[in-house]
Amino acid sequence: MKKNITVCLLILLVSSYACKKEEDVYVRSGTVIFGDYTHMVRQIYDSVIVFNGNPAFLDLDLDHDNLGDIRLISDRWGSNGIGYHPVSKLLCMTNSASVSGFFTQDTMFVYANQTSYIGEDGKVHLDVQQMFSCTPMSDRDTILTIYPDMFKFSVLTTSDKINQETIFKTDTLVLSDDSYELPPVTDIKPDTVMRIFVFNYKNCNTFPQEKVNYIGIRMRNGNEVRYGWIKLSITERNKIIVYETAMQE
């Protein structure tokens, strides 16, 4: 009888241990909620990326394999004629890394305005103003071009989530760009002088300025998928502050 009791106790202990081991097995979630660090590998950066005469960048190693996955770039573009303008970009460095977002169409609106007056030279002077924007400027706008199937990154906040239903794309994306104005073009004729002024808002891609937001990331390794985020803010169009990254264990 004593031997039977001992055997029963041993079986119970083994069964209890097996159940506990089964409960302790971590199964990666198919959903990540921004700001929830449960089963997330977090890396704090608190780094500032800013153009310093040359493009500045920071490579983020999201899966901790000592290789860059996402590059954040602070740059500047332009010329002496139109001036120099700040721009910030995100580059997926490998096909394994992709950014959450959505597909939409960009509509380029144009607003044209014309004023005229008689100059001291006795000629009619025409000033033509043309403005281009991805958002409507007035009820007098006309549509210049429609660009279909444009991928846009999603600007996300705390408690937003990404999962297998989220759209991801491996791409190079403009986060924020600057507006510019072309030097006026003058056309002189015997009885008229025309000046054309062109202004482009370049607002098709605009990451919120001076706000802390998230960009969702997916890392794929064969059939294995992990989700995570980059927490960052942008000021002055090309001053990028990276606070942290997080990726599923």
DSSP state, 96? T
pLDDT at 25: 54
Start-to-end CA span in the chain (Å)? 49
pLDDT at 165: 97
CA separation, residue 183 to residues 8, 9, 79, 197, 199 (Å) = 91, 90, 11, 7, 9
Q: Which amino acid is at 52?
A: N
pLDDT in tens, the chain (249 residues): 544 544 443 444 444 444 444 445 567 899 999 999 999 999 999 999 999 999 999 999 999 999 999 999 999 999 999 999 999 999 999 999 999 999 999 999 999 999 999 999 999 999 999 999 999 999 999 999 999 999 999 999 999 999 999 999 999 999 999 999 999 999 999 999 999 999 999 999 889 999 999 999 999 999 999 999 999 999 999 999 999 999 999
Q: Residue length, the chain? A: 249
Joined tokens for residue 186: 């003058």
DSSP state, 182? P
Beta bridge partners of 194: 126, 187
Q: Tell me the C-alpha distance between 150 and 131, whole Å.
A: 22
Secondary structure class of 27 (helix, strand, coil): coil
Beta bridge partners of 153: 101
Given a contact cutoff of 8 angstroms between Cβ atoms, the answer to whether 216 and 70 are in contact is no
Secondary structure class of 65 (helix, strand, coil): coil
pLDDT at 9: 39
Q: What is the pTM of this model?
A: 0.85
